[in-house]
Amino acid sequence: MAKRILVSGGAGFIGSHLCTKLVQDGNDVICLDNFFTGAKKNVEHLIGYTNFEIVRHDVIDPFRAEVDEIYNLACPASPIHYQYDPIQTTKTSVYGALNMLGLAKRVRAKILQASTSEVYGDPEVHPQPEEYWGNVNPIGIRSCYDEGKRCAETLFMDYRRQHNLRIKIVRIFNTYGPKMLAHDGRVVSNFILQALNNQVITIYGDGQQTRSFQYIDDLIEGMVKMMDTEDNFTGPVNMGNPVEFTILELAQKIIKLTNSKSEIVFLPLPHDDPKQRKPDISLAKEKLNWEPTIQLEEGLLKMIEYFTKNHIQ
């Protein structure tokens, strides 16, 4: 049965893929976005569908609609964008969560929070299970995002305890794919652009820090599965690819796949940059029967094709 679904941040990288999936499944979808990092072109292929509408709105202000489900994705996710206006970033995470939770409470909608692996900070436990409380600097340059997302999780759990709201929380690890902003400072898009243009590939630190890279299609499947779970299961649930790579390995793989002449240069590591990041996805396997199926090389080839086809420089 078709549902009426609100996606805040729906014109962003993840949000636009989610809107596409939900529309194609026959749901009525409202895409909410202020277009700070989202873009209309990300959802232009959906304009004209009778079950899709797009609304310019900032989630720090209340929004009213009659909906069955809400996916709360609104927040800049790359360091360049969330550090550009850190106070606004915290407002988006905290006020945005409050306003979406308030809407869910009024209309008794089920609501999912797109949280992040950044809630684990620079982890001292590896890989990171959901039970780990994290190692986060509360006053650093990344805190606006890290602590904003942690506070949003707190609000979701308190609305659950205080108002019996039907909530879901997913913690998203590094995700990549088509429609990523080209110059947002995230490592996969950075390396691909540099390689395609035969520019030097810039690695911060010695390149031995690790990340786990999840293709966007796997994440979208996991989020929809999470929303469809029984009401007594709230999460949080890690969503990421547990196959771990060093940043140096990623750069070398991208150079090979693009036949690039790029050389690698090493620059100082940014403050509070995590040394390792890898999800424990045991809970997602158990509760959602979910795990990533698209491995790094396959996903990178799709993203390289997208950047090449769209002449992204």
Q: Which residues pair with 113 in a beta bridge?
A: 72, 169
- Residue 184 carries which DSSP code? S
Closest listed residue to residue 207, CA positions, set 259, 121, 265, 141: 265
**Cα gap 310→196, rounded to integer Å:** 13
**Cα gap 117→281, rounded to integer Å:** 12
Q: Is 158 helix (H, G, I), strand (E, B) or coil?
A: helix
Q: How far apart are the first and last CA of the chain?
A: 43
Largest CA distance in the chain: 58
- Do the strands 210-212 and 244-246 form a parallel or antiparallel pair, or are they unpaired? antiparallel
Structure tokens at 73: 């994705």
Half-sphere exposure of 256 (CA within 13 A, CB side): 8
Phi, psi of 270 (to 5 degrees): -60, 160
**Cα gap 68→109, rounded to integer Å:** 5
Residue 145 annotated to the active site: yes
**Cα gap 312→309, rounded to integer Å:** 8
Q: Which of 95, 145, 176, 215 is catalytic?
A: 145
Q: Residue 214 is inside which H or E element, if any? A: strand 214-215
Angle value at C-alpha 69, between 285 and 40, nearest 5 degrees: 100
- Residue 140 carries which DSSP code? S
Catalytic residues: 145
